[in-house]
Amino acid sequence: MPPRPPSSRLVYTSEPEPEPTESVAAAAAFPSARQQTARIARDRKRRAGKTVTVVSGLRHDPATLERLLKTLKQQCGAGGTVKDGELEIQGDHRERVAAALQALGYGVKLIGG
């Protein structure tokens, strides 16, 4: 039998390398609230004339965005949704959203007029 090339040898170990936990990977992937700036804008385009407050620029996982949206909707007394990583709250609530996000430690920038 001819000798095998070294690259085709079977390698076995009884101690697998530990995989990083989700919390460690998630914490490294997303910056904290103090390191982020939320951009808050009022939008009426493609909404049949309805005004919507759009919060963009936040880098979080979808579950965190949903929790943040729930808090903002309660503060504003309005409905809303998460679309394409942006929070959309029904109505013009830029000042309320800005105050709520600043209280949570986010930097805030109002976009538009």
Residue-level pLDDT at 86 = 94
Q: Identify the band that residue 33 occupies on the pLDDT scale cut at 50, 70 and 90.
A: confident
Higher pLDDT, 18 or 65: 65
- What's the whole-number mean pLDDT along residues 93-110? 95
Can you give the residue ranges of every domain in the chain?
32-111
Which residues pair with residue 107 across a beta bridge?
Answer: 37
- What's the whole-number mean pLDDT along residues 81-108? 95
Residues 53-72 pLDDT 10s: 999 999 999 999 999 999 99
Q: Give residue 73's Cα distance to chain centre.
A: 16
Q: Identify the band that residue 84 occupies on the pLDDT scale cut at 50, 70 and 90.
A: very high
Residue-level pLDDT at 29 = 75
3-state secondary structure (DSSP) of residue 12: coil
Residue 38 CA to residue 69 CA, distance in Å, equals 13
The encoded tokens of residue 106 equal 């986010």
Q: Which residue's structure tokens are 């800005």?
A: 98
pLDDT above 90 for 7: no
For 11, counting Cβ atoms within 10 Å of its Cβ (0-12 exposed, 13-18 middle, 19+ buried), the class is exposed
pLDDT above 60 for 26: no
The fold of the 32-111 domain, in CATH, is Translation Initiation Factor Eif1 (3.30.780)
